[in-house]
A and B are shown apart, each in its own frame.
Chain A
Amino acid sequence: MSHTQFALLSNQAIAVCGVFYFLALMAHLAEWAVGRTVPIDAIASGASTTTTVAAAEGGGTTVTDTLVDVDDDSADRMERFGRVGLMLTVVAALAHFVAVASRGLAADPVRVPWGNMYEFTMTGTLFVVIGYLALYRRYKLGWLAPVVTGFVLITLMVDVLLLYTPVVQLRDSLHSPWLIIHVVAAITATGAFTIGGMASVMYLIKARWLETDHTGDKAGYLARLPGLVQLDQLAYRTIAFAFPVWTFAALIAGPIWAQAAWGKYWGWDPKEVWAFITWVVFAAYLHARATAGWKGRAAAIIALIGLATLWFNFIGINFFFGSGSQHSYA
């Protein structure tokens, strides 16, 4: 295949993956729409649903009965929608991967697919999806599905509509092995921080919801979210993974490369400044989790501030500071 054909393939694959992410999002929304009437323990206990629920809800017999009547069917459908959504996400991720890979193959000479913003966003979202799929089983991330697919779909739409660039060769300063080391680390950390941020959003939403006393609710999306402790743990684990990776990307690999390319390992370039800000905010997050009075909600808010600075750095810097940044290509 020629370079031009690969470029074309990449453009088609990104459209295909967009469609599949959309379908996956729809399937997951359907899953949760159906799930509104399915009690939490319905799916977990499978065939013995009726008895479990009836036993659990000793008091409100009438309500319970109606729920149980619907639920055998709905629980099935909910599970099916969920499975379909997951499969569609996998298909979308494959198309996404093809789009990213062929983008790299489209350049002459062949290169890594993150030479500019369009490609960087494309690859970054792929890492979010891969992270989500990799952790899906271990952390039972079913509840995160609509968030992830929605986020990736919207980000890719913005990417294709606003940031699209034809394939071009790399700028001179990008000709370095550090392009792979520095950027892969940065994208990995960005993906993990993003998933951690999603868990923090859910934490805040669920905490607010619990405050208005829904402890008795046994159905619906928010009831089905993991408990606050688990959400907090998921956020902590992903961020604790992302933080050292980010440290390496922004404060070790970046400076080494900058030293070689620009003759200065740290020059307070806007992108460097914001990478530093992100680092400081997440450092604060890790400290806050260990501090009385800052645990839980405050920590979740700090994580979201950190995530905001990360994405602002990722996209905002280029729009607001443009040529003022030596990182204006990424």
Chain B
Amino acid sequence: MTDPSEYTNVRDRARSVAPLAPREFLRWSWRQLTSMRTALILLFLLALGAVPGSVIPQDSVDAVLSAQWRQAHPSLTPIYNRLGLFNVYSSVWFSAIYILLMISLVGCILPRTRVYLKAVRARPPKTPRNLSRLPEYRTLELDAEPSAVLAQARAALGGYRIDAHTDDAGVDSIAAERGYLREAGNLLFHVSVLIVLVGFATGSLFGYTGGVIIVTGGQFANVASQYDEFNPGSLFQVKNLKPFSMKVTDFDVKFIRSGREVGMAQDFSAGVDYSLGDDGKSQHTRISVNHPLDLSGTKVYLIGHGYAPDVTIRDSTGEIVYAGPTVFPPESTTFTSSGVIKVPEAKPDQLGFLGTLYPTYAFTMKTGPFSAFPDAKNPGLSLQVFQGNLGMDSGIPQSVYALDMAGLKPVKENGQALRLTLLRGETTKLPNGLGSVTFNGVDRFVKLQVSHNPSDWVALMGMILALTGLLGSLFIRPRRVWISVRRKGGRTLVEVAGLDRSAGGNLADELDGLTAHLEEKA
């Protein structure tokens, strides 16, 4: 980012200053840090540092996956933890790389902006005495008067900043320069990178994301306590949650029926009734992937779905002690799902069920029960039954997806742990007069993500500005052109010379065009 020539100076300087005084040392460090070589090295470090985050499961990307990985690698986990490898992109070392890079960037932008502000008002340099020494040089002889030739040249040099000169010998010439905006584009690009970073950072500080699972027919109000998971930015205040409520009315899904992607959800959408504020009017809409619900800045995304088996449980007294749908998160691509049913009201003992739901129940001796297709063609529910104390009164919050086994023992039949298998509509009695279980069918649930990012537009604007600047810095071609004219033997001798100030220009073509134009017009 610093000029190459300056970079060489830095190196020379570093050699010449042997015993570094503190001030000198600071100066030297700053120069080093803001040198192009350092910036390049930091860019490589950034690229390299990003790699582990794609190889090792990240907490922020997939918490479940990273937890599984930790379980499978007990010896590596503490080392990885210490190195921040489960949170690469917020780790100290990764942050250090990009912060250094940003400092280096600022250290490069500032002086360059100063230089540029001077250069942008500068006039084209005076016509050199000997034009033939320049990289591109043409001469031609014309009949027109010198002043007419220069006028034509001015007209042809659209977009150039042009000065007229007359040298000591009385030779008229014009000096022209264009492409002042290239450096502006370059600076804009680098400033925009900072804007993007600021947008990214404020977004994660002042925004939030939350996840909530709602069974169709269920309701949700936007308060923190109703979320299943809630991740506020460190400066987000709960009172800023936008007041709205919604009800999931229905859920619609189509699965691909053939080919390699068989069973993939191809189209799914949820119908919702929502209302803004405390007593706003209720409106109906559909949310699907790519079509979130936007409530002026707070967005509701449909990010997942699954089944909630509807089960009725009676205890030994014949009372209904549990009824309704229970969320079973999907575990496989065919939506084999598992979940837990807790029945604290059951008598004489509390009951707990570990369940697996097969939306399209199938069975072979080799595989045991499995789900043949993700759609609920023939749902089957397999349950393991436990009795005893669910441990729900201990005061420690429990996961709704796990049983605390400490106070529970399996219900046995003929000495074997009981495993029930129920198809839709079936009822089974529990042994020892403990009651009965009815599998009424399945409801669907949706997983919604609610998020608010007050500064995503900052990041987007930054990126668009960066692209604009980038295009300018790559494709604006600064160049200088000089044309001098003198009368010689009744004709006008025209000298045209040019200097390309960027790589990849096509100055030669342009000068050819210019001379052709002069020959034709003048």
Contacts and interface: CB of A to CB of B under 8 A. Distances in A.
Interface of A: 116, 165-173, 175-176, 233, 236-237, 240, 243-244, 247-248, 251-252, 255-257, 259-270, 273-274, 276-277, 280-281, 283-284, 286-294, 309, 317, 321, 324, 329
A5 to B, nearest CB: 17
Interface stretch (B238-246, B393-401, B403-411, B463-471): B463-471
Contact of A270 (B43, B54, B464, B475): B54
A268 B449 contact: no
Contact of A284 (B7, B44, B260, B299): B44
A256 B265 contact: no
Nearest to A270: B54
Interface residues of chain A: helix, strand, loop or mixed (majority): helix
B290 A261 contact: yes
Interface centre among A281, A289, A329 (most CB of B within 10 A): A281
Given A169-B266, A171-B264, A292 B8 contact: yes
A316 B94 CA distance: 24
B65 A324 contact: yes
A124 B113 CA distance: 40
Nearest to B61: A268
Contacts of B39: 287
B281 to A, nearest CB: 26
Nearest to B258: A168
Contacts of A277: 47, 50-51
B36 interface: yes
Contacts of B65: 324
A309 B453 CA distance: 31
A84 to B, nearest CB: 31
Nearest to A170: B266
Contacts of B1: 287
Contacts of A329: 261
Contact of A244 (B46, B54, B260, B471): B471
A293 to B, nearest CB: 7
B261 A171 contact: yes
Given A167-B259, A263-B209, A324-B62, A251 B37 contact: no
Nearest to B57: A324
Interface residues of B, number: 61
B292 A175 contact: no
Contacts of B451: 263-264
Interface string B18-51: 0000000000000000001101100110110011
Nearest to A290: B4
B46 A287 contact: no
A289 to B, nearest CB: 7
Given A243-B470, A262-B303, A268-B58, A252 B464 contact: yes
Contacts of B13: none
Given A168-B259, A244-B474, A266-B200, A293 B37 contact: yes
A276 B196 CA distance: 14
B112 to A, nearest CB: 13
B267 interface: yes
B291 A260 contact: yes
Given A266-B200, A280-B43, A289-B503, 14 more contacts: A165-B261, A169-B261, A171-B265, A172-B267, A173-B289, A244-B467, A247-B470, A261-B289, A263-B292, A277-B47, A277-B51, A280-B47, A284-B47, A292-B8
A244 B469 CA distance: 10
Interface in B465-518: 466-467, 470-471, 474-475, 503-504
B89 A172 contact: no
A252 B465 CA distance: 11
Interface of B: 1, 4-5, 7-8, 36-37, 39-40, 43-44, 46-47, 50-51, 53-54, 57-58, 60-62, 65, 88-89, 200, 209, 256, 258-261, 264-268, 288-292, 299, 301, 303, 449, 451, 453, 456, 459-460, 463-464, 466-467, 470-471, 474-475, 503-504
B145 to A, nearest CB: 39
Contacts of B474: 240, 243-244, 286
Contact of A268 (B89, B259, B470): B89
Contacts of B464: 252
A80 to B, nearest CB: 31
Contact of A165 (B260, B266, B456): B260
A260 B290 CA distance: 5
Contact of B50 (A173, A255, A262, A273): A273
A188 to B, nearest CB: 15
Contacts of A233: 503-504
A280 B37 contact: no
A273 B474 CA distance: 25
B50 A252 contact: no
A267 to B, nearest CB: 6
- In order of increasing CB-CB distance, the 8 nearest A-B pairs are A263-B301, A168-B259, A270-B54, A273-B54, A284-B43, A280-B47, A176-B290, A292-B4
Contact of A287 (B43, B89, B503): B43
B61 to A, nearest CB: 5
B259 A287 contact: no
B40 to A, nearest CB: 6
A240 to B, nearest CB: 5
Contacts of A260: 290-292
14 contacts: A165-B259, A168-B259, A168-B260, A176-B290, A255-B463, A260-B292, A264-B451, A265-B459, A270-B54, A281-B47, A289-B503, A293-B37, A294-B40, A324-B57
Nearest to A252: B463
Contacts of B471: 244
Given A237-B504, A268-B61, A273 B53 contact: yes
